[in-house]
Structure 1
Amino acid sequence: MGCIRFISTTTVQPTFHKELTQRIELTPWDLQLLLLDHIQKGLLFHKPKSSTYEQDPIPSLTEHLKHSLSLTLDIFYPLAGRLAITEIEDDNTTSFSVDCNGAGAEFVHAVADGVTVADILDSVLVPDDIVHSFFLMNGVLNYEGSGSKPLLAVQITELVDGIFIGCTMNHSVVDGSSFWHFFNTWSEISRRGSTNCGKISQPPPAFGRQFLNGMIDLPVRLPNFQNKIPKLRFSAPLLQQRVFHFSKQKIAQLKAKANAEMGTTRISLLQELLAHLWVSVTRNQRLETDQETQYKVPVGMRQRLQPPLPDQYLGNAVLFGISRTVTMKAGEVLERGLGFVAWEMSKMVALHTEEKLRSFLECWVQEPKLLTEGNMAANALVTSSSPRFNVYGNDFGWGRPVGVRNSAGNKSHGKITVFAGVEEGSIDIEACLLAETLEAMANDSEFMDVVTM
Structure 2
Amino acid sequence: MDSSTVRIISRCFVKPQHVSEQSKQPFYLTTWDLVMLSVHYIQKGLLYTKPPPGDYCEQNLINNVLVRFKQSLSIALLHFYPLAGRLATKIEQNPKSHSVFVDCKNSPGAKFIHAAVDLSVSDVVSPTYVPLVVQSFFDHDRAINYDDHTRPLLSIQVTELVDGVFIERWFPEGNNGPLLTLRFTHQNEFITRLETPHFLERIFHFSAKSITKLKERANTESNTTKISSFQSLSAFVWRFITRAHRLPCEIVTCCILAINNRPRLEPPLSPNYFGNSFQIVTTMTTAGELLDHGLGWAAWKLYQAVVNHSDKSVRGFVNDWLRSPFVYQCSPHLYPQSVIIGSSSRFNMYGNEFGLGKALTLRSGYEGKGSVDIEICLPSFSMNALESDEEFMAVVSKPI
Give TM-score, length-normalised by structure 1.
Answer: 0.81
Q: Aligned partners of 1:377, 1:133: CA distance in 2, in Å?
A: 27
Of residues 79, 82, 95, the one that matches 1:91 is: 95
CA–CA distance in 2 between the matches of 1:288 and 1:375? 18
- Rounded to whole Å, the distance in 2 between the matches of 1:54 and 1:120 is 20
Residue 61 of structure 1 deviates from its aligned partner by 2.3
Contact 1:24 1:99 in 2 (8 A): yes
Matched, 1:59 2:63: yes
Change (3 A) 1:354 1:375: farther
- Cα pair distance change 1:107/1:48, threshold 3 Å: farther
SS in 1 for 2:43: strand
Residue 303 (structure 2) pairs with residue 303 (structure 1) = no
Establish whether residue 132 from structure 1 lines up as the match of residue 168 from structure 2: no
Counterpart check, 1:331 vs 2:288: yes
Structure-2 residue corresponding to 1:445: 390
Aligned letter for 2:24? T
Moved more, 327-336 or 63-72: 63-72
Greater alpha carbon shift after TM alignment, 353-362 vs 42-51: 42-51
- Aligned position for 2:17: 15
- Residue identity matched to 1:30: D
Amino acid at match of 1:104: G
**Are 1:106 and 2:111 matched, yes or no?**
yes
Distance across 2 between alignment mates of 1:260 and 1:53: 56
> Which of 143, 147, 160 is matched with 1:144 structurally?
147
Instruction: For 1:402 and 1:10, locate their aligned partners in 2 and report how far apart those are by CA, in whole Å.
Output: 27
| Counterparts of 1:234 and 1:371, CA distance in 2 | 12
Distance 2:185 2:343 in 1: 28
The answer (yes or no) to whether the contact 2:241–2:386 under 8 Å persists in 1 is yes
User: 1:290 aligned to 250, 254, 275, which one?
Assistant: 250
Establish whether residue 223 from structure 1 lines up as the match of residue 214 from structure 2: no
Q: Name the CA distance, whole Å, in 1 between partners of 2:136 and 2:312.
A: 43
Runs of 4+ in structure 1 deviating by more than 6 angstroms, as ranges, are none
1:241 and 2:198 correspond: no
Report if aligned partners of 2:29, 2:176 keep a CA contact under 8 Å in 1.
Answer: no
Any conservation in 2 of the 1:136–1:168 contact (CA below 8 Å)?
no
For the aligned residue pairs, the C-alpha RMSD in angstroms reads 2.2
Percent of aligned pairs with the same amino acid: 38
Q: Is the 8 A contact 1:14 1:70 kept in 2?
A: yes
**For residues 398 and 332 of structure 1, what CA distance do their matches in structure 2 show?**
49
For 2:343, the equivalent position in structure 1 comes to: 385
Aligned residues: 392
Distance in 2 between residues matched to 1:241 and 1:338, nearest whole Å:
24
User: 2 CA distance for matches of 1:376 and 1:441?
Assistant: 20
Whether the 8 Å contact between 1:292 and 1:330 is mirrored in structure 2 is: yes
- Residue in 2 that maps onto 1:68: 72
Aligned partner of 1:357: which letter? V
Structure 2 residue 379 is the aligned partner of structure 1 residue 434: yes
Alignment of 1:115-264 (within 5 A): 115-127=119-131, 129-146=132-149, 148-170=150-172, 173-174=173-174, 207=175, 209=177, 218-226=178-186, 228-229=188-189, 233-264=193-224
User: For 2:85 and 2:217, how far apart are their aligned partners in 1?
Assistant: 49
Q: Deviations over 1:320-353 (max 9, x none)?
A: 3xxx211111111111020000000111111111
Matched with 1:423 is 368
Do the aligned residues in 2 keep the contact of 1:135 with 1:167 (CA within 8 Å)? no
Cα drift, residue 398 of structure 1: 2.1
**1:5 equivalent in alignment to 2:10:** no
Ranges in structure 2 where 5+ consecutive residues have no aligned partner: none
Gaps of 5+ in 1: 175-206, 210-217, 407-418
Partner of 2:4, secondary structure, is coil
Cα deviation for residue 154 of structure 1 reads 0.5
1:268 aligned to 213, 225, 228, which one? 228
SS at match of 2:232: helix
Aligned residue for 1:297, secondary structure, equals: strand
Asked if the contact 1:109–1:156 (Cα under 8 Å) also holds between the matched residues in 2, the reply is: yes
- 1:365 aligns to what? 322
What is residue 395 of structure 1 aligned with on the other side? 353
Quick one: distance in 2 between partners of 1:30 and 1:282? 30
**1:289 to 1:316, Cα distance in 2 relative to 1, 3 A:** same
Instruction: State whether residues 38 and 169 of structure 1, in contact with CA within 8 Å, keep that contact through their aligned partners in structure 2.
Output: no
| Conservation of the 8 A alpha-carbon contact between 1:53 and 1:60 | no
Structure 1 equivalent of residue 46 of structure 2: 43
Please report the TM-score for the alignment, with normalisation by the length of structure 2.
0.92
